[in-house]
Structure 1
Amino acid sequence: MPRRLAAIVAGDIAGYSRLMELDEEGTHARVKRIERDLIQPSITEHYGRLVKTTGDGFIAIFDSPVEAVRSAIVIQQNMSGRNAAQPRNLWIEYRVGVNLGDVIIEEDDIYGDGVNIASRLESIADPGQVYISGGIYEQIKNKLVCGYESLGDRKVKNITDPVRVYRVLPDPAAFRTRDRRGTVLILSMSIVWLGIAGAGLWYWLPHGKPQETSSILVLPQTSKAQLPPPVTNPSTQASEPSRPAVTTAQARPQTQPAPSTASPEKQAALQNAIPAPPTSTIREPQMNMLQGGSFVMGSNDDASEKPVHQVTVKPFAISRYPVSVREWNQCAAEKACPFAAAGKDDAPVTNVSWSDAKQFAAWLAGATRKPYRLPTEAEWEYAARGGTHTRYWWGDELQPGIANCKNCADLGAIEQPVKIGSFKPNPFGLYDMGGGVDQWVEDCWHKNYQGAPSNGSPWLESDCGSHVIRSGSWKNDARYVRPANRDSYDTNVRYPTHGFRVALSP
Structure 2
Amino acid sequence: MGEIRNFRSGNQDGPPPNGSMPRRLAAIIVGDIASYSRLMEADEEGTHVRVKRIERDLIQPSIVEHHGSLVKTTGDGFIAIFDSPVEAVRCGIVIQQNLVGRNASLPKDSRIQYRIGVNLGDVIIEPDDVYGDGVNIATRIEGIAEPGQVYISGAIYEQIKHKVVCGYESLGDRKVKNITDPVRIYRVLPDADAVGRTRGRRENALIFLLGVTLLVIAAGVLWYLLTQPGRLNKQAAAPIVAPVGSPSPQTPQPSPSLVASSPSPAPAPSQEPVQVPSPAAAPLREPEMIAIRGGGFAMGSNDDSTERPVHQVTIKPFSLGKYPVTVQEWNECAAAKACGFTATGKDDAPITNVSWTDAQQYAAFLAQVTKKPYRLPSEAEWEYSARGGTQTKYWWGDKLQPSMAGCKDCGDLAAEQPAKVGSFKPNPFGLYDMGGSVDQWVEDCWHRTYQGAPGDGSAWNSGDCASHVLRSGSWKNDSRYVRPSNRDSYDTNVRYPTHGFRVALSP
Q: TM-score range by the shorter chain?
A: 0.5 to 0.7
Q: Is the counterpart of residue 53 in structure 1 residue 121 in structure 2?
A: yes
Q: Is the 8 A contact 2:403 2:413 kept in 1?
A: no
One-letter code of the match for 2:443? E
| Deviation (angstroms), 1:416 | 1.6
Question: Shift in Å at residue 42 of structure 1?
Answer: 12
In the alignment, the residues of structure 2 paired with residue 314 and residue 453 of structure 1 have an alpha-carbon distance, to the nearest angstrom, of 13
- What is aligned with 1:456? 457
Q: Structure 1, residues 305-340: CA drift from partner, whole Å, max 9, x if none?
A: 000000001000000000000000000001000000
Q: Could you report, residue by residue, the CA deviation over 1:325-384 in whole angstroms, capped at 9, with x for unpaired residues?
A: 000000000100000011000000000000000000000000001000000000000000
Secondary structure of 1:423's aligned partner: coil
Aligned pair 1:11/2:29, yes or no?
Answer: yes
SS of residue matched to 2:298: strand
1:398 aligned partner? 400
Aligned partners of 1:321, 1:349: CA distance in 2, in Å?
A: 11
Equivalent of residue 346 in structure 1, options 335, 348, 372 = 348
- 1:15–1:328 Cα change, 3 Å: closer
Q: Which residue of 1 aligns with 2:312?
A: 310
Asked if the contact 1:51/1:109 (under 8 Å) is kept, the reply is: no
Distance 1:141 1:355, change over 3 A: closer
**In structure 1, distance between residues paired with 2:172 and 2:476:** 30
d(CA) in 1 for partners of 2:440 and 2:360? 12
CA 1:437–1:101: 2 relative to 1, 3 Å: closer
Aligned 8 A contact 1:354 1:492 in 2: yes
* 1:65 Cα offset (Å): 6.4
Report the CA distance shift for 1:70/1:394 in structure 2 as closer, same or farther (over 3 A). farther
Report deviation, 1:39.
6.7
Task: Specify the code of the residue in structure 1 equivalent to 2:121.
Answer: T
Q: Equivalent residue for 1:104?
A: 175
Deviation digits for residues 86-134 of structure 1 (CA, Å, limit 9, x no counterpart): xxxxxxxxxxxxxx999536996459xxx9xxxxxxxxxxxxxxxx9xx
Distance apart, 1:469 and its partner CA: 0.3
1:300 aligned onto 2:318: no
Is contact 2:405-2:424 (8 Å) kept?
Answer: yes
Unaligned runs of 5+ in 2: 1-26, 31-67, 73-80, 93-116, 125-133, 164-170, 202-280
Q: State the shift of 1:69 in Å.
A: 2.6
Query: Could you list the per-position Cα deviations for residues 459-490 of structure 1 after superposition, in whole angstroms to 9, with x for gaps in the alignment?
Result: 00287100000000000000000000000000
Q: Distance in 2 between matches of 1:457 and 1:307?
A: 17
Is the CA contact 2:443–2:459 (under 8 Å) kept in the aligned structure 1?
yes
Whether the 8 Å CA contact 1:51–1:108 is kept in 2: the answer is: no
1:247-396 superposed matches below 5 A: 281-396=283-398
User: Which residue number in structure 1 is paired with residue 481 of structure 2?
Assistant: 480
**For 1:428 and 1:67, how far apart are their aligned partners in 2?**
45
- 1:224-260 per-residue CA deviation (whole Å, 9 max, x = no partner) reads xxxxxxxxxxxxxxxxxxxxxxxxxxxxxxxxxxxxx
Tell me the residue number matched to 2:446.
Answer: 445
Q: Retained in 2: the 8 A contact 1:322–1:420?
A: yes
Q: CA deviation at 1:14?
A: 3.7
Cα RMSD of the aligned pairs, angstroms, is: 4.6
Identity of aligned residues (%): 59
- Structure 1 position 409, deviation (Å): 1.6
One-letter identity of the residue aligned with 1:471: S
Match of 1:69 among 144, 150, 156: 150
Bigger radius of gyration: 2
- 1:141–1:492 Cα change, 3 Å: closer
C-alpha displacement of 1:410: 2.1
The answer to which of 61-70 and 461-470 deviates more is 61-70
The 2-side partners of 1:297 and 1:351 are apart by 28
Superposition TM-score, scaled by structure 2 size: 0.53
Structure 1 Cα separation of the partners of residues 152 and 441 of structure 2: 21
* Structure 1 match to 2:410: 408
Quote how far apart the aligned CAs of 1:38 are.
6.5
Q: Which letter maps to 1:301? A: D
Are the structure 2 counterparts of residues 385 and 462 from structure 1 closer, same or farther at C-alpha, using a change threshold of 3 Å? closer
In structure 2, relative to structure 1, the CA distance for the partners of 1:64 and 1:347 (3 Å cut) is farther
Listed as ranges, the matches of 1:101-140 within 5 Å are 104=175, 109-110=181-182, 140=191
Q: TM-score, normalised by structure 1?
A: 0.53
Give the Cα–Cα distance (whole angstroms) in 2 for the partners of residues 470 and 403 of structure 1: 14
Question: Does structure 1 residue 425 correspond to structure 2 residue 426?
Answer: yes
- Aligned residue for 1:55, secondary structure, equals strand
Specify the SS of the correspondent of 2:309. Answer: coil
Residue 345 of structure 2 aligns to a residue whose secondary structure is coil
Paired with 1:308 and 1:462, the residues of 2 have a C-alpha distance of 19
